[in-house]
Amino acid sequence: MKQIIECVPNFSEGRDRSVIDQIVKAIASVEGIKVLDVDPGEATNRTVVTFVGSPDAVLEAAFQGVRCAGEVIDMRKHHGAHPRSGACDVLPLVPVSGITLEECATLARGLAKRIYDELGVPCYCYEAAAFKPERKNLAVCRAGEYEALPEKISDPERRPDFGPGEYNDTVARCGAVNVGARNFLVAVNYNLNSTSTRRAMAIAFDVREKGRKKREGGSLTGKVLKDADGNDIWEPGTLKGCKAIGWYIDEYGIAQVSMNITDINATPLHVAYEEVSRAAAARGLRVTGAEIVGLVPKSVLMDAGRFYLERQQRSLGISDDEIMKIAVKSMSLDDLKPFDPHEKVIEYLMEDPAEQAEKERLVRMDLKAFADETASESPAPGGGSISAYMGALGAALGTMVANLSSHKRGWDDRWKEFSDWAVKGQAVMKELVGLVDEDTAAFDRIMAAFGMPKGSEEEKAVRAQAIEDATLYASQVPLRTMKASFKVFELARAMAAEGNPNSVSDAGVGALAARSAVLGACLNVKINAVGLKDKAKAAELIAEAESLAAKAVQEEKGILDIVNGKIDG
C-alpha cells in the first residue's frame, strides 16, 4: 500500500492574502505534494492548510512552510482570537494509508529537531509525538501562548523539546511550533427524522466519549452529582474517541448529531453510525443518513463496505468501486446530496488524471480497441502485456466462481469460505491488470534507452548502462507476471474441487488462461534476458522462469483432471 500522510499546519495569518499565498506556494513547490485546502479566518487571524503526499515529500513541504512563515510573519505584531504560540502554530502529521501513527510520531520528532537545528525555531512535540506524557495535550504545550515564551524557555520544566537555552531574536519573531502526530479526524453529521435539537443533544450525550453529567436518580433533570472534591461526576458515553453535539440545520430543516471521530481505529465510521442509529431508536428517532464533512481516507469507506457485506453474508471479493457503493448506500451518505467518492476520498484527490490515464492507457481501452491496438504495426502491446491480461482473466474467472459459490442457495454456511477465495482472486487480478501496462512501459523504456545520444565516450557509457538497466527491468516484469499468474492455480484448483459445480468449466478455463499466461510471460523473460550483458543474471532469470513454466504445465493438468472428472461424471 502506498504510504500517504496528511499534514494540517495552522499559520498565524488569516487576513493578508499575499502572506498566505507565499506560505502555500512554498508548500506546493515540493514535488509530490498536493494542497487540498486553504482555509483562512479573519477573526482568528489564522489559516489552516491541508496537504498530502508521501512521507518524505510531506516532511519537506512542512519544513518549507515553517521556513517561509518565519520569514513573512512577525509574531510581535500578531493578534487574533485563536490561541497561538508561533508563526506556524501547530504542525500535525496524520497517517492516511500505508503508515502507522507510531511511524508518524517518529517522523514528527525528527521534523521538530530539523526545524530547530536549521531554522532556530523552537519546537514542542505533542499528542503521539510527545516526549512527556503531559505534553500529549496541545493546551499544555501552548500554555501562555506566544507571550509566555520568554518565561517558559528559561524554565527547565517548561522549555521546548528542541530549543535554545535563552530567549533570542528568532524566537521573538517566529515564536514556537507545536509539532505532533495524531490519527485522522473524521467529521460526520447524522441526519435525524426530527427537528428537535434537545433530542439530538441527548443522543450526542449517549454516544460521545465524554458522556453527560451524572444526576440524582439517573434522571435527566435531577441534581448533578459531585465527587469528594466537589467536582461534577460524568457518565461516559459508548463511543471511544468521539466528540458530539446536537443541532438544528436550517438549510435542511432537520436536527443532526454532529460528531468528530478523533480515533478511527478505536471507532470506525460504520461503528459510530450503527451506535448513533441504536441510540436514536432507543429515543424513538431514526437516523436517515449521514453527511461526511471534509475528506476521508479510502480505508474508512472500504472498511464500512466490508462490514455491511459481512453482515449480509455476501462475498467481499468484489471491486473497490462496488464495496464503496455498499458503504455509501448502507449509511445513506447521499441522503442530503449526491456523494461522489472521487470528491471526498483523499487517495482519489491525489491522483493526477492525465498521469493516471497514461499509466493505465491499455487497461482503460475497451476490448475491441485493445485488440486493434495489439494488431497494429506498433510492437507494443505485445506478448508480455497479453500474457498479463490472460493471467488477469484467469484470476477473474476463479473469482467469479468463488462469488457464485458464496451466494449459492443452500451454501449459506460456506459464504465466508468462498468470500475469502474471492478476496484472494481480486488481489491477484489487480496485480496482473497493473502488469498489462507495466510490461508495455518496460518495452518503451528500452526503446528510449536506445534513442539516447552516443556522440561521446561518456554518452556511450551512459547509454549502454541505460540499455542494460532497461533490459533487466524488461526481463523482471514478465517474471513478475509469471509469479502472479501462478497464484491463479491455487484458486482455480479450489474452485474446481469445491466451488459451484455448475461453474466447474469456468474454473478450468481459468487454469488454461493461467497456464498460457505463465508460458507466454516465460518467452518474454527469455527473449529479454538474452540481451543482458550480465550473463550470470540472465541465466538466473531464465532458469527461474523455465522452472515456473514446467510447474504451470503440471498444475494445469491436475486442475483439468478435476474439471473433466466432474463434467464426465
Catalytic residues: 82, 439
Those residues whose C-beta lies under 8 Å from the C-beta of residue 301, and which sit 6 or more positions away, are: 269, 323, 324, 327, 328, 341, 345
- Residue identified by cell 453510525 is 273
424 burial level (CB within 10 Å; 0-12, 13-18, 19+): buried
Q: Report which DSSP code applies to 296.
A: B
Q: Report which DSSP code applies to 146.
A: G
Neighbour tally for 212: CB within 10 Å: 17
Measured in degrees and rounded to the nearest 5, phi and psi for residue 476 equal: -75, -35
How many angstroms separate the Cα of 327 from the Cα of each of 137, 154, 187, 269, 273? 34, 53, 16, 10, 11
Neighbour tally for 303: CB within 10 Å: 17
Question: DSSP states of 385-419 as a string?
Answer: HHHHHHHHHHHHHHHHHHHHHHT-TT-GGGHHHHH
Residues 482 and 524 sit within 8 Å (Cβ to Cβ): no
At residue 216's C-alpha, the angle toward residues 211 and 222, to 5°, is 85
Closest by alpha carbon to 19, among 46, 56, 55? 46
Closest by alpha carbon to 147, among 234, 238, 84, 230? 84
Q: How far, in Å, CA of 195 to CA of 247, rounded?
A: 9
Closest by alpha carbon to 233, among 220, 214, 249? 214
Find the Cα–Cα–Cα–Cα dihedral 560, 563, 568, 569, rounded to 10°. 140
| Region for 314 from its dihedrals, namely left if φ exceeds 0, alpha if ψ lies in -120 to 50, beta otherwise | beta
Q: How far, in Å, CA of 367 to CA of 308, rounded?
A: 33
CA atoms within 13 A on the CB side of 308: 21
**How is residue 380 written as a grid cell?**
507494443
Q: How far, in Å, CA of 165 to CA of 155, rounded?
A: 9
Going by DSSP bridges, is the β-strand pair 123-127/177-181 parallel, antiparallel, or unpaired?
parallel
Cα of first residue to Cα of last residue in the chain, in angstroms, is: 45
